[in-house]
Amino acid sequence: MLITILFYIGIIAESMSCAVAAGRYKVDLFGVFFISFVAALGGGSIRDVLFNHYPLAWVENPNYVIVVIISAFIATRIIGFIQRLKFFFLTLDALGLAVFSVIGAKIVIGMGYGLTHAIIAAMITGSLGGVLRDLFCNTIPLIFQKELYAVVAMACGAIYWFAYPYLGEDIATMVTILIGFVMRMIAIKYKISLPIVTLEKENS
Amino acid sequence: MLITILFYIGIIAESMSCAVAAGRYKVDLFGVFFISFVAALGGGSIRDVLFNHYPLAWVENPNYVIVVIISAFIATRIIGFIQRLKFFFLTLDALGLAVFSVIGAKIVIGMGYGLTHAIIAAMITGSLGGVLRDLFCNTIPLIFQKELYAVVAMACGAIYWFAYPYLGEDIATMVTILIGFVMRMIAIKYKISLPIVTLEKENS
Amino acid sequence: MLITILFYIGIIAESMSCAVAAGRYKVDLFGVFFISFVAALGGGSIRDVLFNHYPLAWVENPNYVIVVIISAFIATRIIGFIQRLKFFFLTLDALGLAVFSVIGAKIVIGMGYGLTHAIIAAMITGSLGGVLRDLFCNTIPLIFQKELYAVVAMACGAIYWFAYPYLGEDIATMVTILIGFVMRMIAIKYKISLPIVTLEKENS
């Protein structure tokens, strides 16, 4: 129940901030919807296709698609407003990241897989939507350069996997989301990121 | 039967115009084949993977692949000729769009899905091939900026869904293809497109 | 057994040379891992999704993921060393290409498919990983411009299909890998490539 509400918050936050990002490129209204859809539901779709987990969430429940499109449409009407609320949306996005990652881990654990799979599924669900979005906008994916986005997603997968046998599914979910959310906000605040790999200097 | 002929016309038109488009970038002959394949059969493949509809059309019937490759090869031999016949190919492409979209809708309706799914499947089948093609050519996908391409695809899905219980599958197919084709030609002729979303001006 | 060892050599070679290539763009450590994973295991994953061959290799055996990540990490520590050994890695990559292609052909032949499918599966397994890698790095895929990469992969699929009824699976595998490897090395040495298709001059 709570996870459903959080999931809706996650896809709304994703599609709204994406719709704003899409405005940076010259795309039409359909492009905005499409990119928002990919960002909000693409990560979970890739996970389900790779792990053979059918039907996909939005095929089973097309309301998700409708919510994404309405959110993206509203976002295009209030772009200036959203830009002034940038921190609010960063916060929602951090929440969405944690929620998506935990959902990803829960699904593959429910299919009988172990720790490595939970980490990979959390990473795919939490961060691949953003990779796809950047692909379609023709830029090098931001998550390869951004503050710990994928690392937080993977951490959520691992934390949930260790926590749920002790705490039960519900409390483990809440605790993991909280930790993931805090990690992400700290990474944003202190601009913590992974080392950039470059060719120029030899590392050995 | 008629739909099969139209499908062949669709993939031939797609792969030929694609092969010409690929020539704008420095790609080799294999690249031309690959991009033509993706444009002609990629949308349907994504639909089948997302809706768990196996085997994919071209896996079941590899003749499609051979037709695409031969068409693309011929196109590279007669590029100048095709460019002079630009309007003829735009017409074939409009027909292909309508045919692909109706096929997409038919398949998911045949799997027991409803209106929303028919619209989404029509959109995926009719227009995602072009999105993939543009991705591989490293440009922002044209359909996000082009005259109503995806909108026509979605309209076909909806029209077919409303029409087939009354008109039967065959007549509904023909009527939908006709309407979709006319919509697309009108959009091209009058350069009708969706509003472009931009950041510069606030819309609210 | 031998094929498993060769497969490990293939994914190690792919992920190491990829990690070095990723350094040309400003990506962080996660980006390096992700792109290496896609290059080493992406082609096989696409093949399995398109041919409905579940579970994917790395889902069934997550050791592959760990090997890829460790190889990529080591590569980032010894970039200068790898660059001096460029020819050694080109050789490993040529071996990997042949191995991946044969594995792709074997899998779909094992599913009951024929020659066309063997060629397509070999092409997908051997060369799509590199296409994906280039997509994520935001360049026009190199294999569309590079020495016979995809052609060697397809040739491996065809050779294996013709050879295995006569030679048995094991010897056919070895022979095909050898021929594919030699083809690729010759193509590199003499810079043999497919004709580039361009718009400028009319070919007819």
Closest Cα in chain A to B141: A136
Query: Which of C16-20, C164-168, C193-197 is modeled with the greatest confidence?
Result: C164-168
ipTM: 0.86
Between chains, do A204 and C54 touch, taking CB under 8 Å as contact?
no
- C-alpha dist (Å) from residue B161 to A63, B150, B158: 18, 17, 5
Residues of A in contact with C138 (CB under 8 A): 138-140
What is the C-alpha end-to-end distance of chain C, expressed in Å?
51
Q: How confident is the model at residue A203 (pLDDT cuts 50, 70, 90)?
A: very low
Chain A positions in Cβ-Cβ contact with residue B50 (cut-off 8 Å): 45, 49, 56, 59
Determine contact, residues B22/B35, Cβ cutoff 8 Å: yes
Query: Best-predicted range by mean pLDDT among A25-39, A42-56, A84-98, C31-45?
Result: A42-56
Mean pLDDT of chain A: 85
Q: Is some CB atom of chain A closer than 8 A to the CB atom of C66?
A: yes
User: Could you give the 3-state DSSP secondary structure of residue B197?
Assistant: strand
Q: Using H for helix, E for strand and C for coil, what is the string for chain A?
A: CHHHHHHHHHHHHHHHHHHHHHCCCCEEHHHHHHHHHHHHHHHHHHHHHHCCCCCCHHHHCCHHHHHHHHHHHHHHHCHHHHHHCHHHHHHHHHHHHHHHHHHHHHHHHHCCCCHHHHHHHHHHHHHHHHHHHHHHCCCCCHHHCCCCHHHHHHHHHHHHHHHHHHHCHHHHHHHHHHHHHHHHHHHHHCCCCCCEECCCCCCC
pLDDT for res C50: 96
- Which one-letter DSSP state was computed for residue C112? T
> Is residue B125 a contact partner of residue B101, using CB atoms and an 8 Å limit?
yes
Q: Which residue has the higher pLDDT, B123 or A198?
A: B123
Residue C47 CA: distances (Å) to CA of B17, B53, C42: 26, 16, 9
User: Cβ of A204 and C81 within 8 Å?
Assistant: yes
- Residue spans of the domains in chain B: they are 2-189
Task: Choose among B31, B35, B59: nearest Cβ to C50.
Answer: B59
CB-side neighbour CA atoms (13 Å) of C25:
23
In terms of Cβ atoms closer than 10 Å to its own Cβ (0-12, 13-18, 19+), residue A112 is exposed
CA A156 to chain centre: 12
pLDDT on residue B57: 92
Q: Establish if A140 touches chain C: CB-CB under 8 angstroms.
A: yes
**Distance (Å) of CA B195 to CA A74, B90, B144, B166, B203:** 14, 22, 11, 34, 12
- For C21-48, the three-class secondary structure string (H helix, E strand, C coil) is HHCCCCEEHHHHHHHHHHHHHHHHHHHH
Angle at C154 between CA C69 and CA C137, to 5 degrees: 40
Residue with tokens 């994973």: C37
Predicted confidence (pLDDT) per residue in C45-57, tens digit: 999 999 999 999 9
Gyration radius (Cα) of chain A, Å: 17
Interface residue C136 vs chain B (CB under 8 A) = no
Cβ(C91)–Cβ(C32) below 8 Å: no
Distances (CA, A) of A204 to C31, C42, C74, C89: 20, 28, 10, 18
Neighboring chain A residues of B113 at a CB cutoff of 8 Å = 59
In chain A, the residue whose alpha carbon lies closest to the alpha carbon of B199 is A23
DSSP label of C203: -
Q: Cβ contacts of residue C182 below 8 Å, gap of 6+?
A: none
Name every residue whose Cβ is closer than 8 Å to that of residue B172 and which is 6 or more positions away in sequence.
Answer: B160, B163, B164, B166
Cβ distance of C116 and B56 shorter than 8 Å: no
pLDDT for position B91: 85
Question: Is the CB of A23 inside 8 Å of chain B's CB atoms?
Answer: yes
Query: What is the per-residue pLDDT for B189?
Result: 84
For residue C19 the two structure tokens come to: 């990690």
**H-type helices in B51-148, by residue range?**
57-60, 63-77, 79-84, 86-110, 115-136
Task: Judge contact between B176 and B89, C-beta under 8 A.
Answer: no
Q: Is A196 exposed, middle or buried (0-12, 13-18, 19+ CB in 10 A)?
A: middle
- Contact call for residues B109 and B173 (beta carbons, < 8 A): no
CA distance A141 to A39: 12
Q: Give the residue on C whose Cα is nearest the Cα of B132.
A: C135
pLDDT confidence of residue A56 = 95
Confidence at residue C191, expressed as pLDDT on a 0 to 100 scale: 79
What's the pLDDT band for A202 if we cut at 50, 70, 90?
Answer: very low
Give per-10-residue mean pLDDT for chain B (204 aa). Answer: 84 83 75 88 95 94 93 86 78 87 95 94 90 73 70 95 94 94 89 67 42
- pLDDT for C202: 42
A chain contacts of residue B152, beta-carbon cutoff 8 Å: none
Percent of chain A, pLDDT > 90?
46
Quote the pLDDT of residue A204.
39
pLDDT confidence band for C203 (50 / 70 / 90): very low
C201 pLDDT band (50/70/90 cuts)?
Answer: very low
Residue of C nearest to A108 (CA): C59
Whether residue B196 contacts residue A26, with contact meaning beta carbons closer than 8 Å, is answered with yes
Average pLDDT of the segment spanning C144-152: 77
By C-alpha distance, the chain A residue nearest B202 is: A80
Whether B197 sits inside 8 A of A56 (CB atoms) is no
pLDDT digits (tens, 9 = 90+) for A67-84: 999 999 998 888 778 777
